[in-house]
Structure 1
Amino acid sequence: MGRLEFQSSFKNINQKEWNDLTKSNPFLRLEFFQSLEASKSIGEGTGWHPFPAIVIDQGSLVGASPIFLKEHSYGEYVFDWSWAEAYQKYGKNYYPKIASCIPFTPATGSRIFGLDLSIKKNIVVQIEELAYENKMSSSHILFCNESEKDIFGDPKWMLREGVQFKWFNKNYNNFAEFLSQLSHDKRKKIKQERKKIHDLGLKIKKIKGPEISESDLDFFYACYCNTYQDHHSHPYLTRIFFSLIKESMPENLLLILAYEGDHPVAASFFIYDDKNLYGRYWGSKSFYPGLHFELSYYQGQEFCIENRIVSFEGGAQGEHKLARGFEPFNTFSFHRIFDEKFELAIKDFLRREKTGIDQYTNELNERAPYKTELNI
């Protein structure tokens, strides 16, 4: 089965072995985690302490999971603030906690990796024991695949579901063919929004990773910071992070810029592989009607069609994505709470939440943007 170790950093892990084991989406590449750490986007002072699990057998990596010791719940997108408040109300500490996840990234994918099921199950057991033995409140596996439920041997791991939105490229030859599949109202709305951009005289440029310049990143990062400031918050990622991933994984990056004349005015940043496009960050220097939808959704959909990419995840939340061709899908996370009284209370909370999620998903499906016999 091999020897399991918890590391205090991602920097000394064998890059090729980690990537060969975790190759399910680009966020799981070791370069991504190493760039977060080297740029000080995670680590000391951030509340995100790297603690990756690795399993070594005969000198080779046979199991792994991106683990973090968390001092808060920022940047997770599975919201457990009310759980933390309940702990505090009763004089208990919710933090630190353990989370297997991708920082600041609500992208679904595997979180526990191993050459066989026994290795994966052992990693889960060790994550649980690490938290329990160190008197932590809980362990969490966030945005994992539903299929991973088989590795949670202890029934005390509680499943939590959420809803996100994904666009599927149904072998469209062009954007017009995609529009032709939408209901009349949705099709009309998108055409109107795109016409606004045309009438403003804005030009759009898609730039793949190898062609992205440092000045492009400077402009993008200023836009990225503006978005956080507009929401009275602070950016999680440092400027150097984007330079580091441009250097280490350029084939996975896409930057889309909008220009007024020769001057850039807005930017969207994406990460992708040959199957999936992930919308990540957006920002602008000033307001232009419809530009957010153009750069964050329509240009991404066009990129998928042009490059035969199967799906486009638009990021956390955003019911407005439904009107732009995205469809709802469920997300899955697993949670282990060690205090029995809180475990029972949270289990009841999740049961009631699940009822609401199911109802919400049904309502969204009833408002599907695609043609039916009733809405052609």
Structure 2
Amino acid sequence: MVPKHLTSINDVAAASWDGLLAADYPFLSHGFIRALEDSGAVCAASGWQPAHRVVERDGQLQALLPLYLKDHSWGEYVFDWQWADAWERAGRAYYPKYLSAAPFSPVQGPRLVARDAEAAGALLDSLDGDLQAQRVSSLHLLFNTGAENDWLAQRGWLQRLGCQFHWYNREYTSFDDFLAACNSRKRKNFRKERQAIREQDIHFRWLTGEQLDAAAWAQFYPFYAATYYKRGQEPYLPPAFFTLLSSYCNANVRLLFAMQGERAVAGALFLVGGDTLYGRYWGCLEEYDRLHFETCFYQGMERCIAEGLKRFDAGAQGEHKLVRGFEPVLTQSWHKLQPGLHEAVGDFLLRERAGVEAYREDALSYLPFRRADQ
């Protein structure tokens, strides 16, 4: 089996791609990737050149891997800047590199999907061929959930651990049920934060389905873009991405506006897949007391409860999530690099791993839940 190199997700039929994926995971769906490509968010000019790989047998898809040829490390959330700097100082070019990930989305999910080990092996061997031919400096696969681990480890890829914070719906029927699971001091703090929103006369409006029209996205985009402009950066995603996402993945999208009277003062985008709510982008143009916590955390928790979802992934970073009930969760990525750099990175990852595991254990002590003796 010889893998095919795709220069666009549109080179493969949506039914074939999504049929092999066989999971309600929006960030690897044909529609999500197509929205990124059709909007120009990922392309050669943006440093995200599509280079997807698929394996076919008798006209049927046997394996797939979303893949990008990268000439920078922006938008990944697994940081390799030091590796790039070390390789450049050694007189070697770190870019381009291959990256398998959901662009701009540090969310766990499947990456290499295959019907069997033979198809997976053929696909990975093709990547090894490009690495050995020095067409790329390195191979990277980010935020996978583990189905690929054995295939990667057998071929010498290096595992890297990270830590995120996720909230779990323990069969709560209301937000008060969640509060009842917390100690009294934290309950008081949650109520105080939510009361601050009511005192500012802010309420919330969720949009789904046919409500996600062009006017809604035009209203949302300035909030999304403001988050980047405040950091002196250009937004990763153009306005067209959101309207295309709504068209291609409408059932997965949830849009939230914070309203003061009839005026929207903040916006947040969420996606639903399987039993999980994903909080992706948020922004506001003016500052309001506690608005970020309410919009990005508490509203999402209530949405999980209302829709019967089990997990809320609110984004990659933020230790402030711990005291609001988001539990530390180990994440993983995998890497294979040119000889010399590969061994040095392997030594670094062994040392880093112990620190990440210790960090997660320490983070557990900051959770707000009542102990058995309380």
TM-score, scaled to structure 1? 0.96
Distance 1:116 1:155, change over 3 A: closer
Distance verdict in 2 for CA 1:41–1:361, change over 3 Å: same
Worse-matched range after superposition: 293-302 or 149-158:
149-158
1:42 partner letter: V
Q: Which residue is equivalent to 2:356? A: 357
- Displacement, 1:359? 1.2
Partner of residue 313, structure 1 = 313
Could you tell me which residue of structure 2 aligns to residue 97 of structure 1? 97
Specify the SS of the correspondent of 2:371: coil
Who is 2:10 aligned against?
A: 11
2 CA distance for matches of 1:210 and 1:370?
A: 39
**Alignment gaps of 5+ in structure 2:** none
Task: Map 1:58-97 onto structure 2 (within 5 A).
Answer: 58-97=58-97
1:1-376 aligned at under 5 Å gives the runs 2-24=1-23, 25-154=25-154, 156-339=156-339, 341-373=340-372, 376=374
Instruction: Tell me the amino acid that sits aligned with residue 9 of structure 2.
Output: F
Q: Distance in 1 between matches of 2:85 and 2:360?
A: 28
Aligned to 2:10, what secondary structure does the other structure show? coil
Q: Contact between 1:121 and 1:153, CA under 8 Å: does it hold in 2?
A: no
Q: Tell whether the 8 Å contact from 2:324 to 2:367 is kept in structure 1 after alignment.
A: no
Deviation (angstroms), 1:155: 5.0
SS in 1 for 2:240: helix
Give the SS at the match of 1:11: helix
Three-state SS of the structure 2 residue aligned to 1:45 is helix
| Alignment deviations for residues 107-142 of structure 1 (CA, whole Å, 9 cap, x no partner) | 111110111122123222222222322432110111
- With structure 2 as the length reference, what TM-score do the two structures score? 0.97
CA RMSD between the two structures: 1.3
One-letter code of the match for 2:300? G
- Please state whether the residue corresponding to 1:296 is helix, strand or coil: helix
Q: Distance in 2 between matches of 1:220 and 1:295?
A: 14
Q: Distance in 2 between matches of 1:6 and 1:72?
A: 21
Counterpart contact for 2:2–2:122, Cα < 8 Å: no
Aligned residue type for 1:97:
K
Q: What's the secondary structure of 1:152's corresponding residue?
A: helix
* Helix, strand or coil at the partner of 2:148: helix
Distance 1:209 1:30 in 2: 19
How many residues matched?
373
For 2:12, give the aligned amino acid: I
CA–CA separation in structure 2 for the residues paired with 1:116 and 1:233: 43
CA distance in 1, matches of 2:30, 2:346: 34
